[in-house]
Every structure is written in structure tokens, then in C-alpha cells.
């Protein structure tokens, strides 16, 4: 039997279903006074929800509420969104981008079937790295790339549970284009692996090469999940962090669903992180309610495996809880946020991160972008022990790099609900929302 041919047939059938049932994207500014409603109706397939959430997230929209239903061959999602300032979306160009991006994503039947690694495109080459985090690691990585005449045009770095994962996009220093020389790429991979291994990480440090592509932040989740960053011995410090996140998983045996409740402090891209994890763990979301209008967020999912079965063991239930907690914590914003904005040049990141290292600053997360000729970079820094940085260390670094180009930025404060003055009780919300959805799904009998 030719399994490759069967796979091709499945793909063609999937395309045909979507063509016969084109997606409908409705942007509504009349129903709600507080948010713009985005409704997406389309043929259903594994990963549809993630793709929609990914588009809205990439457009820098904040999702305050979401109602999701995807039983059978069709899904209908409704999202209440605002811009980064908390306002409804009235700009016609932004509305057009929402509609076009969501429709295009729905037609892209292969968007969830990508491979990863060192990847060449028409504009750049991408490199994936994962290893044991330590003071100065990012500085050493950027220094190696600078020595190899590689210009860094973008990068994202996450650290979690003493592990570092990064996706770095580079171009050739001379040509400005992607690096497609296999010998040179092999050398880049080999030297970066030496840096990642250091003295202590001989086995688990990894670099990768591939011919595909995927969403950067989704890939970081996949890399750390594969690295089992969720599976570790907890410390006393982590217990305090864990107390801010509540994840509960139980089975609704009558209808064959597993119900997942998530409650935590709200932050940008939280919904993307949880849906990404559920999707990559091969769970399908059939129904969901998301509310994030105060300083905290509440998410409720009714899920099954892709094979249609609910969670079958206590071990699997505990693993899902740990993985969702890890997904929420990975987008680490601990530490002082430093923003670097200046004219881009070769070796800029190597020099900046070297100064961080020499002053005892450890980078817990980084976002590197290039806009035209300008470098626009964000670093979250802590001291070498993972503790808050004192102001003298920050000012010493700013004096050396330049006070006008390296600035300290405060994170946006958690949003507060206008109705409760910032306080948000989940006790009644868990009960009322859960009971209402259970009644609608026929999973619970009314007491009236």
C-alpha cells in the first residue's frame, strides 16, 4: 500500500472540502460597545482554531473573549478583540487585513505540516538552538555568528526551567541574502553546538537543519515541549509562581469529553500559548469559552484526542496540567525590560550582549527585529542568580551602550475590569460559565 499516495489523497480531499465550503469572516462593530467581534465560520480540521488565534495574535490584537464551537465538520468561532490600547477596531485597512489573513489561513491546508531547523528562504536562513541556559550564553552565540560573517536580522529567545530555546534568522554579511552553502551551514551548526554544550550540557544541546518553516513562537513551544521542560523537580521559588496558575482537568464521561479549566494572570498571547500546546499535544478543542476582561484570565476547553477519545489515565491528566502550566510560564517577562533602538550594524547584538554579560546581567527573554536600517530589540534581564537587577547595574550598562538608545521600559500593568475596580472573582464564574456550557451541551441536567 502506498501511504504517500493516501496522504496526498487526504490532502486533496481536504482542499476540496474547503473549496466547496469557503470560510466566512465577519467583522462586527455594532453588537458590542467594548470590543470588535470577529466571527469565523469554516470547514473544520485539526489546527483550525490555532490558525485563527495565530492570525489575530500576529495582528497585535488582544482577545478579551472567545466562544468556540467545532463539533462535526464545521467550526464557528467568535472573538471579542481590541487593539493594544484597548480600543475597538475601526481602521478599514486593519479590518481588511483581518478578513484576508483569516480567509487565506483557512485555505492553507498545509500550514500545520512544516518541518524545522536551519532553513533557507529567499530572504534569510533560520537556525534553531536549544540547550542549558547560563550567564553569557546569548553573548557567546551572537559572537560566534558575528565571527562567521553572519548578520542577525531577527531572533526570539525564551528561557524556562534552566533551558534556553531560540530561533535566529541570519543573512550573509557580504551578500545580504540567505546562506545556502552546505559546508558553511555545517560549520555554523557545529560551532554553535560547542557553545551550547559548554562544560555541562554534553548530551542535550541541539542545533537543527531543515527545509521547512513554522511560526516562530509556536516552534519555541514545540522545542521546549520536546525538551521536556515541563518535567522537572520543583523548587520553593517555583511554588510561588505555580500558585498564580490554576489548571484543572476532568472527564465528562457521559459525552466523552475531557474538560480543561485554566485560570491565571492575564497577559498578551496567553490564548495562543494554551491553544498551541493543546494542538501540538494532539488534542482537538470542540467547545471553549475564554474570558480575559480583568487582570485575570479564565479559559475553559472541552477536548478529545484526535482519535476521538477523552483523557484515559491519571498520568495523562497530570502531564497535560504540567504542559499547560509550562506553556503559560515560557513567555517569560521576569526582569527589567530594556529596549534597544538604533542604527543596525554588523556585530551589534554581539557587542550589546557582551556588555550585559560583563556587567552580570542574564537575559531571560529576547526579541530581535530589524525595521529597515533600524535595530529594534527587547531584552528582559535579571542578575546572574536570577534575581531582580539593581538600578546601579542597569545604569552602568546604559552608560556603556548609550542612554539614548537603551531605555528601561515598564511592562503594561494588568488590565482591570471596570465593573469591579480591578478585582475579579473566579469562584462564581467557574460555576456559572461551566454550568451554562454544560447545559447547552447536554452534559448536565437543569435543576429547575
- Predicted confidence at residue 113, as pLDDT, reads 37
pTM of the entire predicted model = 0.83
The set of cell numbers assigned to 374 is 533600524
**Grid cell 558553511 — which residue?**
184
Least confident of 4-18, 332-346, 374-388: 4-18
Residue 328, Cβ neighbours under 10 Å: how many? 21
Q: By three-state DSSP, how is residue 211 classified?
A: coil
Split at pLDDT 50, 70, 90, the class of 208 is: confident
pLDDT of 115 over the 60 cut? no
For residue 170, report the phi and psi dihedrals to the nearest 5 degrees: -125, 160
CA distance 301 to 431: 14
CA distance 268 to 429: 21
Encode pLDDT of 124-150 as tens digits: 889 999 999 999 999 999 999 999 999
Residue 280, Cβ neighbours under 10 Å: how many? 18
Residue (of 431, 413, 432, 430) closest to 422 by Cα position = 413
- Predicted confidence at residue 422, as pLDDT, reads 40
Split at pLDDT 50, 70, 90, the class of 395 is: very high
- Predicted confidence at residue 111, as pLDDT, reads 41
Q: By three-state DSSP, how is residue 241 classified?
A: helix
Read off the pLDDT of each residue in 335-361 and give the average, rounded to a whole number.
Answer: 95
Strands 74-82 and 36-43, how do they pair?
antiparallel
Least confident of 162-171, 334-343, 405-414, 420-429: 420-429
**Grid cell 464557528 — which residue?**
76
- Taken as a whole, the chain contains a residue count of 448
Instruction: Please list, in sequence order, all residues whose beta carbon lies within 8 angstroms of the beta carbon of residue 412, skipping any fewer than 6 positions away.
Output: none
Which domains can be identified in the chain, with CATH numbers? 3-107 (3.30.70.260), 119-210+333-409 (3.30.70.260), 236-331+423-441 (3.30.70.260)
Q: Residue 304, class by beta-carbon neighbours within 10 Å (0-12 exposed, 13-18 middle, 19+ buried)?
A: middle
Read off the pLDDT of each residue in 326-348 and give the average, rounded to a whole number.
Answer: 92
Read off the pLDDT of each residue in 97-125 and give the average, rounded to a whole number.
Answer: 62
- Predicted confidence at residue 419, as pLDDT, reads 40
Per the model's pLDDT, the better-predicted residue between 384 and 235 turns out to be 384
Split at pLDDT 50, 70, 90, the class of 92 is: very high
Amino acid at each position: 500500500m502506498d501511504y504517500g499516495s493516501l496522504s496526498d489523497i487526504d490532502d486533496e480531499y481536504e482542499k476540496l472540502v474547503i473549496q466547496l465550503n469557503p470560510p466566512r469572516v465577519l467583522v462586527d462593530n455594532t453588537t458590542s460597545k467594548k470590543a470588535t467581534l470577529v466571527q469565523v465560520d469554516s470547514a473544520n480540521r485539526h489546527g483550525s482554531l490555532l490558525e485563527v488565534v495565530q492570525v489575530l495574535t500576529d495582528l497585535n490584537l488582544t482577545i478579551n473573549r472567545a466562544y468556540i464551537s467545532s463539533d462535526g465538520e464545521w467550526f464557528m468561532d467568535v472573538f471579542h478583540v481590541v487593539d493594544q490600547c484597548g480600543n475597538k477596531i475601526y481602521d478599514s485597512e486593519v479590518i481588511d487585513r483581518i478578513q484576508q489573513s483569516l480567509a487565506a489561513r483557512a485555505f492553507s491546508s498545509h500550514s500545520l505540516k512544516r518541518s524545522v531547523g536551519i532553513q533557507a528562504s529567499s530572504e534569510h536562513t533560520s537556525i534553531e538552538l536549544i540547550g542549558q541556559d547560563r550567564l553569557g550564553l546569548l553573548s557567546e552565540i551572537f559572537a560566534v555568528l558575528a565571527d562567521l560573517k553572519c548578520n542577525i536580522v531577527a531572533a526570539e529567545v525564551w528561557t524556562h526551567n534552566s533551558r534556553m530555546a531560540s530561533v535566529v534568522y541570519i543573512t550573509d554579511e557580504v551578500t545580504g541574502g540567505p546562506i545556502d552553502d552546505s559546508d558553511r551551514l555545517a560549520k555554523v551548526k557545529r560551532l554553535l553546538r560547542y557553545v551550547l554544550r559548554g562544560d555541562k550540557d554534553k548530551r542535550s544541546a541541539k542545533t537543527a537543519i531543515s527545509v521547512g518553516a513554522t511560526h516562530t513562537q509556536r516552534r519555541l513551544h514545540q522545542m521546549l515541549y520536546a525538551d521536556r521542560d515541563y518535567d522537572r523537580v520543583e523548587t520553593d521559588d517555583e511554588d510561588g509562581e505555580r500558585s498564580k496558575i490554576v489548571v484543572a482537568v476532568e472527564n465528562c464521561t457521559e459525552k466523552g469529553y475531557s474538560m480543561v479549566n485554566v485560570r491565571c494572570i492575564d497577559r498578551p498571547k496567553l490564548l495562543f500559548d494554551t491553544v498551541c500546546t493543546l494542538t501540538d499535544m494532539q488534542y482537538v478543542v470542540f467547545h471553549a469559552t475564554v474570558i480575559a476582561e480583568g487582570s485575570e484570565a479564565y479559559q475553559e476547553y472541552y477536548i478529545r484526542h484526535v482519535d476521538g477519545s477523552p483523557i484515559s489515565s491519571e498520568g495523562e491528566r497530570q502531564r497535560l496540567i504540567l504542559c499547560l502550566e509550562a506553556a503559560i510560564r515560557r513567555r517569560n517577562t521576569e526582569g527589567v525590560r530594556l529596549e534597544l533602538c538604533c542604527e543596525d550594524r554588523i556585530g551589534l547584538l554581539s557587542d550589546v550582549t557582551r556588555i550585559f554579560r560583563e556587567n552580570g546581567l542574564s537575559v531571560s527573554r529576547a526579541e530581535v527585529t530589524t525595521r529597515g536600517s533600524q535595530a529594534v530589540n527587547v531584552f528582559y534581564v535579571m542578575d546572574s542568580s536570577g534575581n531582580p537587577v539593581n538600578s546601579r547595574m542597569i545604569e552602568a550598562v546604559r552608560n556603556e551602550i548609550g542612554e539614548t538608545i537603551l531605555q528601561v521600559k515598564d511592562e503594561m500593568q494588568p488590565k482591570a475590569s471596570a465593573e469591579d475596580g480591578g478585582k475579579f472573582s473566579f469562584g462564581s464564574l467557574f460555576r456559572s460559565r461551566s454550568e451554562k456550557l454544560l447545559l447547552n451541551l447536554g452534559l448536565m441536567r437543569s435543576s429547575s
